[in-house]
Amino acid sequence: MRDLDRPPGRDAPHIVQLLLRVGLAAATVMVTAGLGWALATGRETSLPVGLGALLADAEAPDRLMAGGILVLALTPVARVVALLVLWWRERDWTFVAVGFAVVVVLVAAIVLGHA
């Protein structure tokens, strides 16, 4: 049951902070594990991995490191989406409109950058 004396958005900064921390931690673990794996197998070089080859063509350590970088890059996007949902729940329509515009620009950048 929600405390009626507490404003609806009071936990929002904590939720967003947790999201950012989890994203950073996951990316750090993935990149470190991939690097350790590559070094443990005697590899001293790493090849760039495109999004299309992330799950198919690259070697496992390279995929793990590239996945970590992808998680790191998508963490701010997840932050914007989380804030958009929180603002929607608070009915703060100005911030919803701005947040939606930011999401549209981010999606367009990803789609156009991948083409």
Q: What is the pLDDT of residues 30-55, one digit of tens each?
A: 999 999 998 998 887 766 766 666 66
1 has pLDDT over 50:
no
Residue 4: the pLDDT is 47
More confident residue, 52 or 98: 98
9 confidence band (pLDDT: 50, 70, 90): low
User: 50 vs 22, 23, 115, CA distance in Å?
Assistant: 24, 21, 12
Q: What gap in Å lies between CA 66 and CA 64, rounded to an integer?
A: 6
Average pLDDT, the chain: 83
